[in-house]
Amino acid sequence: MTKRRLAIIITFAALLLLIAAGLFILRWTPCGTPVLAYHAVEDVPFTESEHLFVTPRELEDQIIWLKRAGYSFAFADDPAAFTKEKQVVITFDDGYKDNLTEALPILQKHGACATVFVVTKNVGKNDNFLTEEDVKALKDSGLVHIGSHTDGHYLLTGLSDEDKEKQLSLSKKRLEEMTGEPVTAMSYPGGYTDDMTRRIALSHYDLCYTYPDTNWLVGKNYDPGAVNRITVSRGTSGLKLILMLKKARPLS
């Protein structure tokens, strides 16, 4: 064998090894389920909270990379999301119109699914929010489950127990009327909860999501009254999201 041929074989073997190592690193993830928290999906933000707006291109890139990394998509109202291996849960808070016009086509294109937590008082409020028909259309797509983000988006910890009860029960009732389906998951406005809020929320819902202050994954012994999520902000590429998930750890 000539030296040149040997060099080619060694280079080829090294390349193959590199590709295999890359694939292994891409598909390896820590135990636990990431629950991703999104809001609006728009190229041009319509509020000053720009970080809450991912672009449609970013969302698509993230979904493509999640699939490359070997994740399957699960709904936020399905407890199996936290017991099966390699699941990811996509959630959207507030009930923006673009969840239907921008996010749904991306979910359809890539066979992904998501859960939209709707503020019932905002339904049909203006062009930025979903209407009742939109909520139903999302549910009818089969790729979106509807959850509650309370009736008026007040921070629940600052309300009386009676008002907490109203916020949580009224939105559930209205969403169930809109969709014709049981609504069993909710997310706390601003992520704020405490013992009493948690107790009242759990009397109406099976799974209650906080808004994250850190990147925790959901482990098998999770607390259904305070399930952690990971914020996905504007400017996050698909690869950056995967690297974030590799660094995240299960809370319980």
Site of interaction with Zn ion (CB under 5 A): 93-94, 189
**Nearer residue to Zn ion within complex by CB, 75 or 188:** 188
**The Cα angle at residue 98 between residues 92 and 99, in degrees rounded to 5:** 35
Burial 171-202 (b: 16+ CB within 10 A, else e): bbebbeebbeeebbbbbbbebebeeebbebbb
**Residues for the chain: how many in total?**
252
Phi, psi (deg, nearest 5) at residue 68: -60, -35
Tell me whether residue 52 or residue 143 sits nearer to Zn ion (CB atom).
52
Give the residue with the Cβ less far from Zn ion, 34 or 147.
147
Residues in a beta bridge with 35: 89
For the bound state, the minimum distance from the C-beta of residue 191 to Zn ion, rounded and expressed in Å, comes to: 9
As measured in angstroms, the least distance from the Cβ of 93 to Zn ion is 4
The Cα–Cα gap between 77 and 55 comes to 25
Residue 183, both tokens: 């609504």
Residue 114 CB, shortest distance to Zn ion, in Å, is 16
* Minimum separation from the CB atom of position 119 to Zn ion (A): 7
Task: Please say which residue, 87 or 150, places its beta carbon nearer to Zn ion.
Answer: 150
Cα 133 to the center of its chain, rounded Å: 22
C-alpha dist (Å) from residue 127 to 18, 157, 189: 50, 30, 21
Bridge partners (DSSP) listed for residue 92: 38, 116
Q: How far is the CB of 103 from Zn ion (least distance, A)?
A: 16
> Residue 65 or residue 229: which is nearer to Zn ion going by CB?
229
* Beta-carbon contacts of residue 92 (< 8 Å; ≥ 6 apart): 38, 39, 41, 99, 103, 114, 115, 116, 117
Pick 52 or 69: Cβ nearer Zn ion: 52
Q: How far is the CB of 156 from Zn ion (least distance, A)?
A: 11
- Please give the residue whose beta carbon sits closest to Zn ion in the complex: 93
